[in-house]
Homo-oligomer: A and B are copies of this chain.
Amino acid sequence: MPKPALRPYSRYSRDAVALLGQQIRRARIEKKLTAGDLAERAGVSRGLVQRIERGDPGCGIGPVFEAAAIVGIRLFDSSPAALSQMSDEVKQALTLLPRAVRPAKIETDDDF
């Protein structure tokens, strides 16, 4: 079956997407870039920039992060160096974890 016409997003993720879009718009304007300028730099259309700033959850995460980076927004509050280190750490942690998750059948509600 195809892509669902409407996807139910949680409030938290909707807010997060919207916030990121607003931050991008703010940073763009502060840097005195037009939507068209940002679009060109990001290699996307102006229309997509508008959807990104509006917080459309359907936008690809690639273009969104690209736009964010261009206007100077640090994802994860991290510099490129820190980002790389975090990646190594997570990759490291992943090698120590099981690759396949088993049963766990009974109530996954952990948190003490």
Cα–Cα, bound, A102→B31 (Å): 11
Closest to A99 in B: B29
Q: How many residues of A contact B (CB 8 A)?
A: 64
Interface of chain A, helix or strand or loop or mixed?
A: helix
Cα–Cα, bound, A11→B65 (Å): 11
Say yes or no for A40: interface residue by CB 8 A criterion: no
| Residues of chain A from 19 to 43 with CB closer than 8 A to chain B in the complex | 19-20, 22-23, 25-26, 28-35, 37, 43
Fill in one digit per residue for A58-89: 1 if any B CB lies within 8 Å of its CB, else 0: 11111111101110100111001001101100
Other than the known A58-B60, A72-B110, what 7 A-B pairs have Cβ atoms closer than 8 Å? A7-B44, A9-B65, A26-B94, A28-B101, A29-B101, A59-B60, A77-B77
